[in-house]
Chain A
Amino acid sequence: MSERAWHPSDLALDQGGTEVDAHLAACAACAARAAEAAASHHEFTAQVFPRTVEAVRMRRPRRPFKIGWPAIGVAAAAMAGFILFTQVRRAAPVVEPPRLELASPGRVRIWTGRPRHVAVYLVDDAGHRRRLWPHAGTAQLVNDHDLVSLPAPDPHTVAVVAVVADKPFNPEHPPSDGDVVTLALVERSPPNR
């Protein structure tokens, strides 16, 4: 093999492929590099990953949704204020269909029209959203009229928001083409009449 013979770069080694595999079979030096890479991989998996994964989980970016959560939060807060003002306990859904409806205290009914994938969030009076349902994993396939339980009343919660899509999605990254349905909530008791 001449000095100018081709040897795969680190990037090529990582990318793999038949040409790289063939080279590794014939070049002891590059096979040693590949073995080093495998050892480093093992070191990461066995030692670095367990030691650092929690820090990564805690620091992972929590991005605002592309569909404009601040605007939704402000709108929801304004709606909640209006409802308080008019002493209406139950609010009407903003968008339909699909739509959300307060079925009973602590439960929300989802009207999707057909089986669709849904993730539900709570929005507080500062416009911050928090994932409500499903607690983990991808958005859930729900049927029309399904019910979702709400957590204990929180005085700062002003709205329930659902993202409804035809395809499965990660609730942390809802699709920009999904339907967004907002239900304003008033968890406080209205004044006595």
Chain B
Amino acid sequence: MVDQLYRRHGPVIYRRCVKLLRDRAAAEDATQEVFLKLMRHIDGLEEGEGYLPWIYRVATNHCLNRLRDEAWLQTMPPELLADEGVHGAAASLPERELGARLLAAVDEETRAVAVLALVDGLTQEEVASVLGISRKTVGKKLRLFVERAQRFVARAS
């Protein structure tokens, strides 16, 4: 039973953790932690489609917390923050550093909203579904985050 669930959900969790942590060994550890959390909450989740948003939310929070705890966001070499998006060139190194500092400066939920919406390209509806908050809240947090980012950038420049 555990093996089947791990084989079924592990790949999504692992991919998410690799994407956020940029470190396969760390992602492997994080995958186990997130999967064990899934096991503890699985009774309350809707079978099938209900698992995915939950996995995204918990894996995202877990990885971002880990990055915060290890002060990675402040100290991570900028090249590791590069995200060669498929639809455009990666941001410049100073911009990525700035983005990392900004992410480290906001609360957990706002950070998750920002990452899911701005890094992963989820729609506001998808972010709301993943985080279990209203679309209105997502929009508000995103707007505040962007405003804060603009101030941050203005100060930095």
Contact = CB atoms under 8 A, between A and B. Distances in A.
Q: Describe A's contact surface by its main secondary structure.
A: helix
B6 interface: yes
A141 B126 CA distance: 43
A56 B43 contact: no
Interface in B1-48: 1-3, 6-7, 10-12, 14-16, 18-19, 28, 31-32, 35-36, 39-40, 43
B87 interface: yes
Given A7-B87, A9-B120, A15-B49, A57 B2 contact: yes
Contact of B3 (A11, A32, A48, A57): A57
A14 B7 contact: no
A55 B32 CA distance: 8
A52 B28 contact: yes
A51 interface: yes
A63 B2 CA distance: 14
Contacts of B122: 9-12
B113 interface: no
B30 to A, nearest CB: 11
A53 interface: yes
A41 interface: yes
Interface of A: 3, 7, 9-12, 14-15, 29-30, 32-33, 37, 40-41, 43-45, 48-49, 51-53, 55-57, 59-61, 63, 170, 172-173
Given A11-B56, A48-B14, 4 more contacts: A3-B87, A29-B86, A43-B14, A61-B39
